[in-house]
Structure 1
């Protein structure tokens, strides 16, 4: 599938199947062959900061918007021979196409790791150069950037940073329906309400069945963080700015529960390997932003237990969002892997099975006799409880063969180097944390 991500005033190269207008365009100009993304980003940035980000930051965001737009357009079920892997040829307009094209193979490999697809990148002249904001702002004295999604991990990250008081972050949120109120409340309650920058990628298409896996969805979130980082006085002065992406190590590593699991609804955006590749790209582009995850070697339960303000955590944690299947109900399902990780963390934190006051569609995680045949699920029952079953299978495998064999090549010394054992440790601890929850519910 050939897709172009360009400014609306740029002609599409010949042979394109789809076109995505980025940064500017007509909100109503949608069809089977055209869409748009990021139309409000510049105006929101200028309103908040009163200055324009660096040219390379705009280019990186153009790439990110093109990736999430292309991902949405190309439905795995309809275009992939194996029902999963896609071939996507993406053309992106940037300010310095030669500099980007030299890095195209590296970027393609990075995106392939992120989404499980084959990417072919072409960069053409057409970078985004918005007119300077009418109202020029003064200083932006913040010292770093932190992502604030509305999830539990980023909430803990914000509480810890504000309570510690060493850094003075800008909090960047990707404005998504269902999360906005949480993001604003979390920023306000932690004392950072005036330092919240809320942006929206809002990729739109029409007449096509959108891809639901959204594996690269968080790359645009990081791009928004990069945009914000280049606005700060610290960056303008030539210093490197830290961009914090708080996520527990177990979810970050995304170790397959079983040999058959491909993690289709899981994102690898904070996976150490992806972060390493992305950091290398930023460095080669001269973007002085350092990606940081202070919780890489902590489980979600440990994050909760060590949070610097237990009072704030108790107030806000129940309304945070973790579910991978919340959909339009914006309510935790209670039985997907992110929900299991969340519920396990609450148990470790509170010490009680009833210590979690989150609203779940399925508050009881149970395996019915009708749904269980020889310790396996079939049909609808499997679709509804696959994460529960695969977690139980993984725990059984660890009991019989040990965690190192379960983890296998997912965390190898070649890729993870001297820290491989630390990564294996948090992967094992995260799985065992879920095991304690399932045991408390009577499933083990």
Structure 2
């Protein structure tokens, strides 16, 4: 794992193993600018949020500056992941030094980007740069709108705006991040188009420029962009007196399991993964001591269904102005989609599945999705991995979904108001609908181009020719396959869930090498006597009242609940080890007004009875 020390707010690094980053001064190498903010709104920005803006800019720009190794998962990704240590000056030092802030910040960024994060916060030296530094174009008036939402200029964000403004009649403030003038031009073109259609009074647009200055980017996956984007959304929302803002993203891309087992890069990002969004909500709520909500109104829609929102609102003529490609450096005036990145592939399948190709010709893409030659480099493999992945999804019965796609499990308990079982069923149905859309596009294209395929007139490296000429075709399953599979699963005995309480080592052990220690161990230690006594008497395990548990742990009620949340998250790898989904009550159960207890279905065994296949560390 590569290690980097990032010193922020300084002109020169302190050593050869460090890099210096600064948002102002003679050594400025990070741009941070928010345009078109009213003077009234600016007055509502506390120093704490300016600290957050600077931190987000440093993290985002460092992410681009510091290269990873190979994008292949060789040696379990040791060259892909980075260890990033930030030293950051802040105005509100006491808040940033809160251990909960550090833990949630590092944990959320780690899950988001596959990197390891550490932070040292220090008090900003005087004179502190005024917050007006970042707001060069102040205006005197500002409309009061219903919602604040993040706007990228892609299909999802445009469909979200159209649905809210045109279909639902809301007014909205849009926050658009850009690091290239080409991206800003796309966003402004879409805003202008909506204005010309008579919606100018319902839309405000706040462009935000964050980029490296004088340094070429080495890492293009931009995995921390959504952290920056969310911080910008929070700042504008709080400026407007609101405690919520929206991400417009379809649910398949939010869950986004890796399409290929050994290739990660931009194709397995977690930019709007529910676990990331819940982590950001927790971070923002702790910082502000106020509940913050991140809304995802398009989450239960596929890309095709999102694209159809544009058609339903009679805005199809603007589809071609949206841009999803993440490679603005190679855009031309006529072609703003490379056609080979995962975002372009996903977009083109959605447009074709929605029957909207007349509003976006294939000539808008540098590489045609179905007919273009993809034999160069990794281009064909990317497209084939996309199709193969959703072929596998389509062939997977509901009972096998979480076992065959364990990456989904981390999202199951991240939907407020939904049980993990209900969330799992909705995610399964969502992925099935998307898989059907991909299949429909391929089968329609084979029917349309069948004669050319037969005569070998299409490039052999095209996606369509490759799908058509595969030598091995799987037989269709029997019509009653799902019923047979369910009956077989139902006949299986329930797995025995074992744990061992290692008092000497202060650990709770599970099969496969997983364990709990530190604060997580102390939670189990506080509950285990009730568990053991009930087992001895063959009685129901009683619940331990929440206030008494907090007192025994020596923490506040809120800290105790947050610790239980962390404990449950550390047990997520057990889903893969045991081959079954676990919900938040699987080990420590919660009952409203009753408290907490260890799940009676678990069995305590001796330390020697726990099978260890290699040490797997669970952090407390």
| TM-score after normalising by structure 2 | 0.60
* Structure-2 separation of matches of 1:221 and 1:229: 12
Structure 2 CA distance for aligned equivalents of residues 106 and 393 of structure 1: 36
User: Which runs of structure 2 are paired with 1:353-392 in the superposition (5 Å)?
Assistant: 356-357=360-361, 359-366=364-371, 371=375, 380-381=376-377, 383-392=378-387
Partner of 1:179: 183
User: Is 1:348 aligned to residue 340 of structure 2?
Assistant: no
CA–CA distance in structure 2, aligned partners of residues 63 and 365 of structure 1? 42
Residue 300 (structure 1) aligned with residue 303 (structure 2): yes
Q: Deviations over 1:233-280 (max 9, x none)?
A: xx1xxxx43211101111111112233342445542211110010011
What secondary structure sits across from 1:285 in the alignment? helix
Alignment match of 1:99 (pick from 95, 109, 128): 95
Distance 2:330 2:439 in 1: 29
Q: Superposed, which structure 2 residues align to 1:40-439 within 5 Å?
A: 40-41=33-34, 45=37, 49=41, 51-77=43-69, 82-101=78-97, 102=99, 103-126=101-124, 129-130=130-131, 137=140, 140-175=143-178, 176-190=180-194, 191-192=199-200, 195-206=204-215, 210-232=218-240, 235=241, 240-286=242-288, 289-307=292-310, 310-312=313-315, 314-329=316-331, 331-350=336-355, 356-357=360-361, 359-366=364-371, 371=375, 380-381=376-377, 383-398=378-393, 400-402=395-397, 404=401, 408-412=405-409, 415-416=413-414, 417=420, 418-439=422-443
**What CA deviation, in whole Å up to 9, does each residue of 1:147-190 have, x standing for no partner?**
12111111111111111455321111113332222211222333
Shifted more, 406-415 versus 160-169: the winner is 406-415
Is the 8 Å Cα contact of residues 173 and 206 (structure 2) preserved in structure 1? yes
395-404 or 283-292: bigger deviation: 395-404
3-state secondary structure, aligned to 2:182:
coil
Query: RMSD of the TM alignment (CA)?
Result: 3.3
Rounded Cα–Cα distance in structure 2 between residues aligned with 1:248 and 1:53: 31
**Count of aligned residue pairs for this structure pair:** 414
Give the number of the structure whose alpha-carbon radius of gyration is greater: 2
Q: For the structure 1 residues 202 and 367, does the alpha-carbon distance in structure 2 shift closer, same or farther, using more than 3 Å as the test?
A: closer
CA 1:46–1:204 in 2, change beyond 3 Å: closer, same or farther?
A: farther
2:20 corresponding residue in structure 1: 19
Q: 1:197 to 1:326 in 2, by over 3 A?
A: closer
1:70-111 per-position Cα deviation (integer Å, ceiling 9, x unaligned) = 112211139998331111101222222232232212211111
Q: What CA distance in whole angstroms lies between the structure 2 residues aligned with 1:48 and 1:201?
A: 23
Give me the whole-angstrom Cα distance separating, in 1, the residues matched to 2:217 and 2:57.
19
Give the direction of change, closer, same or farther, for the CA distance of 1:440–1:340 in structure 2 (3 Å limit): farther
Which segments of 5 or more consecutive residues in structure 2 lack a partner in the other structure? 415-419, 447-463, 468-620
Q: Which has the higher contact order (CA 8 A, sep 6+)?
A: 1
Counterpart CA distance in 2 for 1:400 and 1:288 is 41
How far apart are 1:219 and its partner, in Å?
A: 2.1
Shift of 1:401: 4.3
* Distance across 1 between alignment mates of 2:206 and 2:303: 26
Relative to structure 1, is the Cα distance of residues 87 and 141 closer, same or farther in structure 2, using a 3 angstrom cutoff?
same
Q: In structure 2, the residue corresponding to 1:218 is in which secondary structure?
A: helix
- The 3 A distance-change label for structure 1 pair 439 and 340 is farther
Q: Give the deviation of 1:344 after TM superposition.
A: 1.9
Cα deviation for residue 311 of structure 1 reads: 2.4
Partner SS state of residue 37, structure 1: strand
Q: CA deviation at 1:296?
A: 0.4
Q: 2:602 aligns to what?
A: none
What is the rounded CA distance, in whole Å, between the counterparts of 2:243 and 2:161 in structure 1?
Answer: 17
Give the secondary structure class of the aligned counterpart of 1:149: coil
Q: Does the aligned pair in 1 maintain the 2:8–2:22 contact within 8 Å?
A: yes
2: CA distance, partners of 1:254 / 1:63:
26
Counterpart Cα distance in 2 of 1:72 and 1:37: 13
